[in-house]
Chain A
Amino acid sequence: MTRRTVEMALSTPGLDAQGRPVSLPLGVTGGEPGQTPDEYMLLNIGPQHPATHGVLRLVVELDGEVVRRVIPHIGYLHSGFEKLGEYRQYNQIIPLTDRTDYLAPMANNVALALAVEKLMGIEITERCKVLRVIACEMSRIISHIVWLGTTGIDLGAFTPFLWSFQERERIYNLQEAWTGARLTTSLTRVGGMMADIPEGWDLALREFTQTFPSVLDEVDTMFSRNAIWCGRTQGIGAMSAEDAINYSLSGPMLRASGVDYDVRKDRPYLDYETYDFEVPVGEHGDIYDRYMVRLEEMYQSNRILQQALDRLEPGPINVDDPRVILPPKSRAMSDMEAMIFHFKQVMEGIKPPAGEVYFGAENPKGELGYYFVSDGTAKPVRWRIRPPAFINLAALPALCEGALLADVIAINASVDIVMGEIDR
Chain B
Amino acid sequence: MTGVSPSVGALTAEFGSAILRTVVSCGDSIVYVMRERAHDVLAWLKNTPGQEFDYLTDITAVDYRDPERPLEVVYQLRSLGRKADLRVKIALDGSAPLDVDSVYDLWKGADWLEREVYDMFGVTFVGHPDLRRILMWETYGEGYPLRKDFPLRGHFSRAEQVRQALAANPEAQYSLEELSLAQAMHDLPADMTERLRRGERGLVP
Could you list which residues of chain A lie within 8 angstroms of chain B, going by C-beta atoms?
A: 6-8, 12-17, 22-28, 37-38, 40-42, 59, 61, 71, 73-75, 78, 80, 82-84, 87, 118-119, 121, 243, 245-249, 259, 261, 266-267, 355-358, 360, 367, 369, 371, 373, 375, 381-382, 384, 386, 390-391, 393-395, 398, 423-424
Contact = CB atoms under 8 A, between A and B. Distances in A.
Given A37-B184, A38-B186, A395-B109, 14 more contacts: A8-B180, A12-B197, A12-B199, A14-B199, A42-B182, A42-B187, A59-B175, A82-B146, A246-B54, A247-B107, A358-B85, A382-B60, A384-B58, A393-B112
Nearest to B64: A381
Given A25-B176, A375-B64, A391-B109, A357 B26 contact: yes
Interface string B45-64: 00000000011111010111
Contact of A75 (B60, B137, B183): B137
Contact of A14 (B133, B137, B198): B198
Given A16-B139, A248-B57, A355-B26, A71 B197 contact: no
B101 interface: no
A42 B146 contact: no
A15 B196 CA distance: 10
A73 B173 CA distance: 9
A390 B54 CA distance: 19
Interface string B4-41: 00000000000000000000011110100000000000
B139 to A, nearest CB: 5
B99 interface: no
Contacts of A119: 26
Contact of B176 (A8, A121, A267): A8
Contact of A356 (B26, B109, B174): B26
B80 interface: yes
Contacts of B185: 37-38, 40-42
21 contacts: A8-B180, A12-B196, A14-B199, A17-B138, A24-B196, A28-B184, A38-B185, A42-B185, A78-B136, A84-B152, A248-B110, A267-B83, A358-B58, A369-B57, A371-B60, A373-B64, A390-B116, A393-B112, A394-B111, A395-B109, A424-B135
Nearest to A248: B109
Binding site of A, secondary structure by majority: helix, strand, loop or mixed? Answer: mixed
A23 B199 CA distance: 8
Interface centre among A23, A75, A393 (most CB of B within 10 A): A75
Given A22-B201, A28-B181, A78-B136, A381 B62 contact: yes
A6 B181 contact: yes
Contacts of A394: 109, 111-113
B108 interface: yes
Nearest to B116: A390
A391 B54 CA distance: 15
Nearest to A75: B135
Contacts of A75: 133-137
B48 to A, nearest CB: 17
B114 to A, nearest CB: 11
Contacts of A74: 134-135
A191 to B, nearest CB: 16
Contacts of B175: 59, 71, 73
